[in-house]
Structure 1
Amino acid sequence: MTTAGAADPLAAVHQYIQAFNDGDVTAMSAIFDDEGAVLDGMAPHVWSGPSAVEHWYRDVMTKSAHLGASDYVVAVDEPLHHDVSEDTAYLVFPASLDSRLNGAPVVQTGAIFTVALRRRAGDWRIAAWTWTKGTVQQ
């Protein structure tokens, strides 16, 4: 796993997702812009700045422990939107989330993962992302 931004925006998103699936918050942070933001359905809903990813991940794990949720795995399909300019990109992916709730498998389908990226010193970094929840099947 690389610990820096990627040479292409799509690769940066896939690196970030793989780092999340591996539970590697350090690798997630390395791909995230220092001025980045996370918008998620979980309160407090917005995390921003140099430690946005670490604080979001900490809050996810805290809530997960309380709910009995674990083993998160995100998957994305081909982007619905793939707009790239010289130093910015906007990608929108159909997504799913597999997890376990109190040991039982849970699948969230029909989610949307939207990502804005910036090129910094030749590498693409995630400037912001949002997860729009889909349908949960238990």
Structure 2
Amino acid sequence: MHIDHAGIATDDAAELAALYGELFGLETVHEETFDGMEVVFLDCGNGYLELLEPVEEGTIADYLESNGPGIHHLALATDDIEAALERAREHDVALVDEQPRPGAWGHTVAFLHPKDTGGILLEFVEH
């Protein structure tokens, strides 16, 4: 496993992507509207920043209202998401997603509950 991306909740993904492009030379490599969000992936060379802007009510809109902009989750890439979820179950880690589901960019994803992962919402992502 390795870090795939950090998900960042924002009120304006285009503005933040432009800022990160100017500051860090990051390029936008993928954009889509998915699950009530504008999602923008910026290439960091060895992973991505995933900018999440709500376009309707939902998880990211709720997160922004409660917490403001910032890191929403950390994603770990896996070649076998089913095995990764089983390992989490064996360690009594609460799952947000009992089964993998479709995620942005056509990936398969599943989230682990932050109450059992040091306060961090962790995502498994299988490309």
TM-score (norm 2): 0.30
TM-score (norm 1): 0.28
